[in-house]
Structure 1
Amino acid sequence: MDLKTLREEKFTSSKFIKLKHYKYEKNGKEYTWDFIESMDSVAILLYHKTKQSFVFVRQFRIPLYDYQKRNNIKLDKNELGYSIELCSGLVDKNLSLEDIAKEECVEELGYMPKSIEKISDFYSGFGSGTSKQSLYFAEIDEDDKISKGGGIDDEEIESVFVKVHEFENFKEKIIRSTTLDFSYLWFMKFKAQKYGL
């Protein structure tokens, strides 16, 4: 992405979000609440058996870039706006959540998991706009590699392999969401012993 071309424009409408404004009364006084209606999503914790590694996504995120610039957060210019995340995507197709999750694995990382396991559903943005994320786990190997990945359209996605035993140190050096930490703790509780970790 050429950051020289990145500019903020006046918001009018979007196919991804809808701005909402509610009014209500309490004890004779009128109040308002503004929030965003957004799409649900899926996220997948991928574990590469041979490499004994998690496979994450490094991706440029304009909202993160905007936040870091507004708050004058000092980072190397190659890190500004970049986060490390689980493979994820919006529920914007007429497919099952499991099929959307598998499709995201192929689009972003190039792997097609043979099977996928549901971890749980989570809700976020209770004040700013509630949406649900369905979290999954999938085990992969090089036999499951069917494309180069990297995302579609304008996405800028890189694969990041992190050895399970190195995750604790790795997480302290990156911009991440709570889902990354939760997924790691879930893996250590329910899967680590299976893989001899």
Structure 2
Amino acid sequence: MKDLQEERFSNSKYIKPKRYTYIGNDEKKYTWDFIEAMDSVSIFLYHSQKDSFVFVKQFRIPLWDYQRRNNLQVDEVGYSIELCSGLVDKKLSLEDIAKEECIEELGYAPKNLEKIGEFYTGFGSGVSRQFLYFANIDENDKVSNGGGVDGEEIQAVWVKRKDFKQFSKENPIKTPLLEYAYLWFKGKN
């Protein structure tokens, strides 16, 4: 990546800044700023032949900006480890969007998805729903190289099931949903 610059913007197809004012119980006027964001799907993938979980390593500009502004010293500034995920921005079922994301990001087309749950996130800064799925994959599901689309530079991160706890300790830049999905998996198996 080169020529990374901050620019002002007034509209986006992904988020919409909003402001509400209101009078509180104390009769004072208050303001609340937030963003209207899109819902998303995330998939916890387990590769049965490799006895491994597969996650996504991706550069995230908001994370890079946060780390830079707060002078945080990390090995790879701006990189996170996440579940395979995507926005609900197509007129497809949630399951079809989830399968499409698995193909785009990691090159696997899961045959079956199991819904783990549905969550609301960002109560103070912008509420959206996140739909969490599980898929068991193997090499028969491999259909492409993955790597992302539209400028995404995604790398697969393979973690043996027996090594997850150590992986989790060594990689603090990950989403809480990844940990939650692992606990769900552990409770089920």
Taking the TM superposition and a 5 Å limit, the aligned residue runs for 1:83-162 are: 83-162=80-159
Displacement of 1:178 after TM fit?
0.4
Q: Percent identity?
A: 64
Displacement of 1:28 after TM fit?
1.9
Aligned to 2:185: 187
Aligned to 2:13: 15
C-alpha separation between the residues in 2 aligned to 1:126 and 1:153? 29
Aligned to 1:178: 176
Aligned to 1:41: 40
Could you tell me which runs of 5 or more consecutive residues in structure 1 were left unpaired when the two chains were aligned.
193-197
Q: Deviations over 1:89-137 (max 9, x none)?
A: 0000000000000000000000000111000001110000000000000
Displacement of 1:46 after TM fit?
0.3
Displacement of 1:13 after TM fit?
1.2
Displacement of 1:173 after TM fit?
1.7
**TM-score, reference length from structure 1:** 0.93
Aligned to 1:64: 63
Could you tell me which runs of 5 or more consecutive residues in structure 2 were left unpaired when the two chains were aligned.
none
Q: What SS class does the counterpart of residue 94 from structure 1 fall into?
A: coil
Which one is further off, 23-32 or 58-67?
Answer: 23-32
C-alpha separation between the residues in 1 aligned to 2:177 and 2:150? 25
C-alpha separation between the residues in 2 aligned to 1:177 and 1:35? 21
C-alpha separation between the residues in 2 aligned to 1:100 and 1:135? 12
**TM-score, reference length from structure 2:** 0.97
Q: Deviations over 1:156-177 (max 9, x none)?
A: 1001110111011101222101
C-alpha separation between the residues in 2 aligned to 1:40 and 1:145? 27
C-alpha separation between the residues in 2 aligned to 1:108 and 1:165? 24
Instruction: Give the partner amino acid of 1:150.
Output: G
Q: What SS class does the counterpart of residue 172 from structure 1 fall into?
A: helix
Give the 4+ runs in structure 1 shifted more than 4 A.
none
Q: Deviations over 1:32-53 (max 9, x none)?
A: 1000000000000000000000
RMSD: 0.7
Q: What SS class does the counterpart of residue 49 from structure 2 fall into?
A: coil
- 1:168 lines up with 2:165 in the alignment: yes
C-alpha separation between the residues in 1 aligned to 2:42 and 2:11? 26
C-alpha separation between the residues in 2 aligned to 1:105 and 1:164? 19
Matched pairs, number: 187
